[in-house]
Amino acid sequence: MGIIRSSFSFMPGTVCGICVAQNYNVPNIKKLINTGLLIAKHIEENYRKPKKRSDKED
């Protein structure tokens, strides 16, 4: 009885998600995350403080 009760809200959510994905233009989340990480990396590299140069270089 516990499995049916716990999966009852999961099943309608899955069905609703499938219907939305088929009928609407849903963005690709993986591609969106990769683009965001690439932009964040680019911003970090541009605005990072330069490393201090020491007089003694070994």
Q: For residue 20, what are the contacts with CB-CB under 8 A and spacing of at least 6?
A: 26
pLDDT string in tens for the chain (58-residue length): 677 777 888 888 899 989 998 998 888 899 999 999 999 999 998 888 777 776 665 4
pLDDT of residue 9: 81
Structure tokens at 52: 């201090």
Residue type, 17: G
pLDDT of residue 1: 61
pLDDT of residue 35: 95
* C-alpha distance from residue 34 to each of 40, 41, 43, 44, 58 (Å): 10, 11, 14, 15, 38
